[in-house]
Amino acid sequence: MFKIKLCLPKLFMNKICTYKHSKIVHSFIQQRWETGYRDKGTIIFYDNTAKIIAENISFNLDTVPTVLYPANVSWGGGTSFINAIRCVYEVVQRNNLKSIILIFLTDGEDEDNGASELLAEVEAFCSNGFYFYPCNFNKCNSATLNSMARKVGATVKNNSDANNLEAHFVRIAERLTNISFAQVDL
């Protein structure tokens, strides 16, 4: 079992109620279930602020309708990667004995403002593995997201529409089955 963090930007969440976008998250969870994994995780929404929507929940086939749909979040606009990563770090500090998977969705519009350095600090803090999957659904490359990915040895999945994101989420779920890890539940 991994501790999976889903960081979802307000742009994504404004569209989450559409069938296709909610299906992306559901497809990831379904793929994990089909391979026998019962993950727990945290869902964080962000724009210029970040908010934990659900922490340490079991990801199951009802997560989308019971957690994502009812989430009631007011947004102020803008995008702040640093605030999202701070929120992630907060959660990671409470779960540092577990392998951490961070799936980070964005439109790629932000300055670095220390996000790359903080992400590297998060990775260093994780004693049982840290896996970063940045996904950019903007048509433009993001220098900031690329910098964040380079800091932790990851690669950005760019220019993803809903169909590409869904396929990418399924590939992430499949890849996770090949990662060996030590799981410690306290």
Q: Examine residue 96 and state whether it is found in any structural domain, yes or no.
A: yes
Write down the pLDDT at residue 85.
93
Q: Examine residue 139 and state whether it is found in any structural domain, yes or no.
A: yes
**Who contacts 87 (Cβ-Cβ below 8 Å, separation ≥6)?**
7, 44, 46, 50, 51, 52
Q: Examine residue 185 and state whether it is found in any structural domain, yes or no.
A: no
Write down the pLDDT at residue 149.
92
Q: Do strands 40-46 and 3-9 pair parallel, antiparallel, or not at all (unpaired)?
A: parallel
Tokens linked to 28 = 């990831």
Residue range of the domain that includes 19: 3-176
Q: Examine residue 186 and state whether it is found in any structural domain, yes or no.
A: no
**Domain with 11 in it: what CATH number?**
3.40.50.410
Q: What is the pLDDT of residues 126-180, one digit of tens each?
A: 888 888 888 887 777 888 889 999 999 998 887 666 677 777 877 887 887 766 4
Q: For the chain, how many structural domains are there in total?
A: 1
CA distance 7 to 45: 6
Write down the pLDDT at residue 115.
92
CA distance 97 to 182: 9
Q: With a cut of 70, which residues of the chain have pLDDT below it?
A: 1-21, 72-77, 108, 159-162, 178-186
Q: Examine residue 36 and state whether it is found in any structural domain, yes or no.
A: yes
Q: Examine residue 71 and state whether it is found in any structural domain, yes or no.
A: yes
Q: Examine residue 183 and state whether it is found in any structural domain, yes or no.
A: no
Q: Examine residue 7 and state whether it is found in any structural domain, yes or no.
A: yes
